[in-house]
Amino acid sequence: MQPFRLAFILAVTIVTVLTFSLSQAAEVRISAAASMTNVIHELSAQFVAQHPDVTIVPNFGPSGGLAKQIQQGAPADLYISANTKWMKLLVDEKLIAPGTKAIFAYNSLVFVGQHEKRITALADLPELERIGIGTPTSVPAGQYAAQALRASGLYDQLLKSGKLVMAKDVRQALIYADRGETDGSFVYKTDAMLMTSAKILFEVPQNLYDPVAYPIGLTSSGAANIEAKALYDYIVSPEAKTIIAKHGFSIASH
């Protein structure tokens, strides 16, 4: 009886370990810029429909904050940034698998606010009292906005006058403007598609800031995850481009 019980316990243990391993292998963790939220949700749904055994765990936030999480060892198989700076940081630290960094989409910057606002250009911003902007030190949308404001000679003036309202990410800046909590906010053109009461007041001239490029990469640990590699291949595939473009992004040509 004792040998039988021992064999039974060993069998259960082996099955448990195998089940755990399989469930782990079928999980993909993706850290993506907040402006990619809707796109990633739809791409994930399409991918899971073809790979029903895979669970995708998204983590959305400011690109800089996500990069720092990965630096500190947070679990992530895929990383999508809203600029090349944070991706380069992880590549330089060998936290992104070699040969997997690829730009797959582009965006542009707009200024949004309530319909009654008569604002048509950057030069009109000093007339406002509260201007939403992603925190430039960690939010790419805020970095691009600050770059455009500096090029226009307005950033220091608006900052010193206390008119800039810092947001934790671009979606928060959008909410501020849509709820009327700011007179207007800098957001991506794709985010403006989600507004319910605000409108685009003007498009920020693209010659005033760097191209808004979205690089994707497999993390060092993600490169060993077969499902993560499959999701990566899907996101950069021609099939996914249709979904990405539907959400207002420009498609990167390779």
Residues placed in the known binding site for molybdate: 35, 63, 141, 170, 188
Binding residue positions: 35, 63, 141, 170, 188
Q: What is the three-state SS of the chain? A: CHHHHHHHHHHHHHHHHHHHHHHHHCEEEEEEEHHHHHHHHHHHHHHHHHCCCCEEEEEEECHHHHHHHHHCCCCCCEEECCCHHHHHHHHHCCCECCCCCEEEEEECEEEEECCCCCCCCHHHHHHCCCEEEECCCCCHHHHHHHHHHHHCCCHHHHHHCCCEEEECCHHHHHHHHHCCCCCEEEEEHHHHCCCCCCEEEEECCHHHCCCEEEEEEEECCHHHCHHHHHHHHHHCCHHHHHHHHHCCCEECCC
CA distance 78 to 30: 5
In degrees rounded to 5, what are phi and psi of residue 166? -75, 135
